[in-house]
Structure 1
């Protein structure tokens, strides 16, 4: 049973976490700060992020924590954030691609992509690409992409990424989560081919109480509770993400999640990857489309 007290000393480590002002991201930032890491909280809502940062600092951990503005719905903002980071640090030990939206009203990114695909996947693809030169400087660096078991219901419609068809919020969410795990696994394949000593790992939090479900109606939340049972607190749900980020014995290209109730609850454990996440033609097409949209080539 792996818990936060098992996190090794993170002194001297630089960690970037997207969406670190709330939920899983907040708990990850707090835990790593408390173990000595230099944590950069990459957030869109700076007011909420400032309040979260103040709360983290009340713990008087030995680490450092700072804020930086990042709007994943704008590839221009992603590029500007990366430039800011390159002026702050010389290398990155851990990047946690955590921020996300779930079933919001129909919306679009600055580049015209459906918001869930654009924020959950494309923004993180671009962010990883821009920061990769700093990541590869650290042997054994880790890129953690947070997905969800919703990927099991996902199918990527490459002809509708700008949502010209009728909008189905849950379908688009599942698509974005499939894109997350597909990206993480394909990135590892390409890293190995290049020969860099970098780990790309996917992780999911099971069923966890976070603000990501804020767009769901009361009836939808009640239905989810009846279907999946009790939701874990964010402090528990974050464990597989932290495990992927810092635990020894983690495998390159691995996938981690809770170990009980079919991955819904529990403690960190390797998770099975289903067939829709390892379709090579889908992974290649997703990579090519993302690379063109983000205008960046890596690893």
Structure 2
């Protein structure tokens, strides 16, 4: 079990969190600010981001906040954002790839890619590779990629990666969350090969109550899904609890590259090291996904 009294104050350390204005990202920001960190809070909607910051400022935490607009559905925006971060900050200690979307109707990104694959996986891979030189300047720097428990059911649809032949919003979501794990593990292997000071870790929140469920119901106008969430309500834990695995992966001195943190009982509970999805453990599959993803982002 994770002991949070192991986590030291974080003064002088810089954390960048995608999707930081609500849910897991907000709770992670709150935890880090309380411990004196500088937190770069990324939000697609600056008005919502500003509202989140005003809420956090009421606590008078010792940490510092900077809000930056980031639209992960447009890789060119990710490129522009990365350039700004590299010019604005001298170094970066931890990148938390937290933002995500869940099971929308078939939608395409700015580059014409299936939106869940594009936002949950591809944009975070692109952001990571753009900011990696900054991370590698610091000792014990980390990339934490947030996945989901659906990773264990996910499969990569090699013949229909973008859901062009047949789109199933839940299968595409599970594929993107499996891709998160495959990316995180392959990145860690590459970092080890070059004796990098940076490590790559993973985290998943279990059943955490965030905006994802509400947005999915609204986007799909699904009363069945709404009913399912109401019936499952007692199983959900708070966003504050759901954020603990990624906080552990980002800050625990004992955490190591390639590890994944998740709830004790897989869907809820205090965080512990958990297993990575079996479908993410095949080296050849991970390298294949990396090569495909690299090709999709190389011309941005």
| Range of TM-score over shorter length | over 0.9
Partner of 2:255: 250
Structure 2 Cα separation of the partners of residues 182 and 259 of structure 1: 22
Partner of 1:9: 9
Deviation of 1:206 after TM superposition, in Å, equals 0.5
Paired residues of 1:11 and 1:38 also in contact (CA < 8 A) = yes
Paired residues of 2:36 and 2:64 also in contact (CA < 8 A) = yes
Partner of 1:219: 224
Q: 1:232 aligns with which of 237, 245, 251?
A: 237
Query: 211-220 or 144-153, which moves further after superposition?
Result: 211-220
Structure 1 Cα separation of the partners of residues 162 and 278 of structure 2: 25
Is 1:154–2:154 an aligned residue pair? Answer: yes
Structure 2 Cα separation of the partners of residues 137 and 168 of structure 1: 41
What per-residue deviation string (whole Å, max 9, x for no partner) do you get for residues 22-71 of structure 1? 00001001110111111001111111011001111111000100111111
Partner of 1:283: 286
What per-residue deviation string (whole Å, max 9, x for no partner) do you get for residues 240-288 of structure 1? 110000012112110110112xx11111101012320112221011101
Partner of 2:101: 101
Structure-1-length-normalised TM-score: 0.94
Structure 2 Cα separation of the partners of residues 22 and 188 of structure 1: 28
Within a 5 Å distance, the mapping from 1:1-299 to structure 2 comes to 2=2, 7-213=7-213, 214-216=215-217, 217-224=222-229, 226=231, 229-260=234-265, 263-295=266-298
Query: 156-165 or 265-274, which moves further after superposition?
Result: 156-165
Structure 2 Cα separation of the partners of residues 284 and 158 of structure 1: 13
Deviation of 1:8 after TM superposition, in Å, equals 1.6
Figure out how many residues of one structure are paired with residues of the other and give that number: 295
Provide closer, same or farther for how the CA distance between residues 220 and 3 of structure 1 changes in structure 2, counting only shifts above 3 A. farther
Look up the SS of the partner of 1:62 in the other structure. coil
Structure 1 Cα separation of the partners of residues 64 and 257 of structure 2: 28
Deviation of 1:218 after TM superposition, in Å, equals 4.1
Query: 223-232 or 14-23, which moves further after superposition?
Result: 223-232
Structure-2-length-normalised TM-score: 0.94
Provide closer, same or farther for how the CA distance between residues 69 and 18 of structure 1 changes in structure 2, counting only shifts above 3 A. same
Deviation of 1:160 after TM superposition, in Å, equals 2.0
Gaps in structure 1 of 5+ consecutive residues: none
Structure 1 Cα separation of the partners of residues 149 and 165 of structure 2: 25
Q: CA RMSD in A?
A: 1.7
- Displaced runs of 4 or more, over 6 A: none
Structure 2 Cα separation of the partners of residues 292 and 203 of structure 1: 26
Look up the SS of the partner of 1:68 in the other structure. strand
